[in-house]
Amino acid sequence: MAKNLMIQGTMSGVGKSILTAGILRVLHQDGYRVAPFKSQNMALNSFVTPDGKEIGRAQALQAAAAGMEPSSDMNPILLKPMGDTTSQVIINGLPLANMKARDYFRQKKSYIPDILAAYERLAKEADIIVIEGAGSPVEINLRENDIVNMGLAEILDAPVFLAGDIDPGGVFAQLLGTMNLLSEKERDRVKGLIINKFRGDVTLLEPGLDMFKAYCDVPFVGVVPFTLLDLDEEDSVSERLKIRNRADSGDTVVSIKVVRLPFISNYTDFTILENIPGVSLSYVNAPEALDNADLVIIPGTKNTLGDLKWLKESGFSDKIKELAAGDTFIIGICGGFQMLGRNVKDPDHSEIGGQEQGLSLLPVDTVFEKSKNLRQVNATIGAVSGVYGPLSGMSVSGYEIHMGESTGNRDTFPVITEGSVLGTYIHGIFDTAEVTGALLQIIYDKKGIKTPVPEIEDAFVHQEKELNKLADVLRQSLDWELIYRTIGI
């Protein structure tokens, strides 16, 4: 049976997902068979496994860090918010139902057998499983039915490292307050503390580490420096969505604006675009912010009809139509693709029910069905006419996560185009240098830019470099003798 280690945090956003990925990468580099595990995740950034199951995008990243193929066993419960109190509940990679938070809370313990079965399958393949908690382990009103933090640690008999985020301040209070709110039995499980995202000279913090011993006898595993990393993260606390990412500046050659939908999902599709010299990418929540954009992207969403109504009510719909009429490039991904069509119908209330007229910029009609389309895709773009013609014949790979099917010209699938507007269901279509380079060249040609398109790195290659960079940071900043001793190796 595999040994294990669990990473918990004092709150959301302390960096549990990235710490877990980094520890997995170091263990993998050291020759161990390792696997990630998160029993319950709430996220709109998701991924489709090779066998057509849906898991949190963070667990897919962690699988890559571990050198493993992602599987639904790594994330047996995924909650995808559809509103303030409702989420789609996904069990073992497949949708179960749309549930109110109260209803899910009442019955979530009934999914413990699914959690244990998934963990046991992983344990047969791995030497070590690194488990990620969620939020805080001391939400005292939720403790009774906990299946993701200390409740899970007890079920799996896992030792725990508790991480705190020093960046906003108050990290000692975070750590001590969390430890004090744990029961004595739970405190005994905590074998080490981690301070994450430290900026500056660590020697100035060391007196505080010594003074902390007077309040808590749990040793520090280490202080992890604040490190700029370009890795997928949990969407609820993402810095990317704070509408300040690489805003237009004097060196901007191409300006890309992503519409910040209320239920935006899988914005990891655009990570590769953030790292290209001369490309400015920002998430915008006001129609006037689209002015002067070279490319407007309508991203995926967990609530297509709701976000389509919001596009109209907010004025985005009229602005996007105006830009399309002026030949600004418009691209819709997944739900954004559906919105660009003529209409969207949801007869079976797969989301919120009803129907809504689309922006009518693409000749497609979408009807939601009860079943969800989950599949990885490897395809060749058909013979595309017009401005997007250079994309014809290019290979694309990625995955689809959507309700319903859309009519349209199958000859050009997996894309549909009309003038300067393009739609596709494929998440990850920008992940290859070939496709993204060709798209930028199309924009360059329209703008009359004669300089070459910058060199672009494939998303997978870039991710591997970032994971190794993370591993290097953790090797230097954490006490690996303590980590291995805690795991039992």
CATH code for position 114: 3.40.50.300
With cut-offs at 50, 70 and 90, classify the pLDDT of residue 244: very low
Do 145 and 87 lie in one domain? The reply is: yes
Q: Is residue 178 assigned to a domain?
A: yes
Q: Is residue 345 assigned to a domain?
A: yes
Q: Which listed residue (28, 216, 402, 427) is catalytic? A: 427
Q: Are 415 and 391 in contact (CB under 8 A)?
A: yes
Do 203 and 311 lie in one domain? The reply is: no
Burial of 214 (0-12, 13-18, 19+ CB in 10 A): exposed
Average per-residue pLDDT for the chain? 94
Determine the pLDDT at residue 180: 98
Q: Are 368 and 91 in contact (CB under 8 A)?
A: no
Q: Are 381 and 424 in contact (CB under 8 A)?
A: no
Instruction: Give the DSSP H/E element, type plus range, for residue 398.
Output: strand 395-406
> How many other CB atoms are there within 10 angstroms of residue 250's CB atom?
4
Rounded average pLDDT over 54-82: 97
Q: How many domains does the chain have?
A: 2
Q: Is residue 148 assigned to a domain?
A: yes
Q: Is residue 459 assigned to a domain?
A: no
Determine the pLDDT at residue 240: 56
pLDDT tens figures, 414-470 = 999 999 999 999 999 999 999 999 999 999 999 999 999 999 999 999 999 999 999
Q: Are 363 and 353 in contact (CB under 8 A)?
A: no
**Cα gap 72→207, rounded to integer Å:** 44
72-81, 343-352, 358-367, 377-386: the lowest-pLDDT one: 343-352
Q: Residue 172: pLDDT above 90?
A: yes
**Cα gap 144→412, rounded to integer Å:** 53
Determine the pLDDT at residue 1: 81
Q: Which listed residue (216, 334, 402, 462) is catalytic? A: 334
Do 62 and 22 lie in one domain? The reply is: yes
With cut-offs at 50, 70 and 90, classify the pLDDT of residue 249: low
**Cα gap 282→290, rounded to integer Å:** 10
Rounded average pLDDT over 277-293: 96
Q: Is residue 247 assigned to a domain?
A: no
Do 382 and 470 lie in one domain? The reply is: no
With cut-offs at 50, 70 and 90, classify the pLDDT of residue 243: very low
**Cα gap 68→60, rounded to integer Å:** 9
Q: Residue 233: pLDDT above 80?
A: no
Rounded average pLDDT over 30-59: 96
Determine the pLDDT at residue 245: 44
Do 469 and 417 lie in one domain? The reply is: no
**Cα gap 18→397, rounded to integer Å:** 25
Do 221 and 270 lie in one domain? The reply is: no
With cut-offs at 50, 70 and 90, classify the pLDDT of residue 370: confident
Do 177 and 282 lie in one domain? The reply is: no
Query: Angle at Cα 108 formed by Cα 42 and Cα 133, nearest 5°?
Result: 45
For residue 296, what is the domain's CATH number? 3.40.50.880
Bigger pLDDT: 30 or 244? 30
- The whole-model pTM stands at 0.93
**Strand-strand pairing, 329-333 and 421-424:** parallel
Q: Is residue 244 assigned to a domain?
A: no
**Cα gap 20→7, rounded to integer Å:** 7
Determine the pLDDT at residue 239: 57
Q: Are 193 and 172 in contact (CB under 8 A)?
A: no
Bigger pLDDT: 84 or 372? 372
Do 483 and 336 lie in one domain? The reply is: no
Instruction: Give the DSSP H/E element, type plus range, for residue 38.
Output: none
pLDDT tens figures, 199-221 = 999 999 999 999 999 999 999 99
> How many other CB atoms are there within 10 angstroms of residue 299's CB atom?
26
Q: Is residue 455 assigned to a domain?
A: no
Instruction: Give the DSSP H/E element, type plus range, for residue 23.
Output: helix 16-29
Q: List the beta bridge partners of residue 88.
A: 80, 98
**Cα gap 273→238, rounded to integer Å:** 17
Q: Is residue 197 assigned to a domain?
A: yes
Bigger pLDDT: 406 or 33? 33
Determine the pLDDT at residue 237: 47
Residues spanned by the domain of 139: 3-232+464-487
Do 369 and 435 lie in one domain? The reply is: yes
Give the contacts of 210 (CB within 8 A, at least 6 positions apart): none
Do 152 and 215 lie in one domain? The reply is: yes
Determine the pLDDT at residue 345: 95
Do 70 and 131 lie in one domain? The reply is: yes
Q: Is residue 216 annotated as part of the catalytic site, yes or no?
A: no
pLDDT tens figures, 256-275 = 999 999 999 999 999 999 98
Q: Is residue 28 annotated as part of the catalytic site, yes or no?
A: no
Do 189 and 227 lie in one domain? The reply is: yes
Q: Are 29 and 183 in contact (CB under 8 A)?
A: no
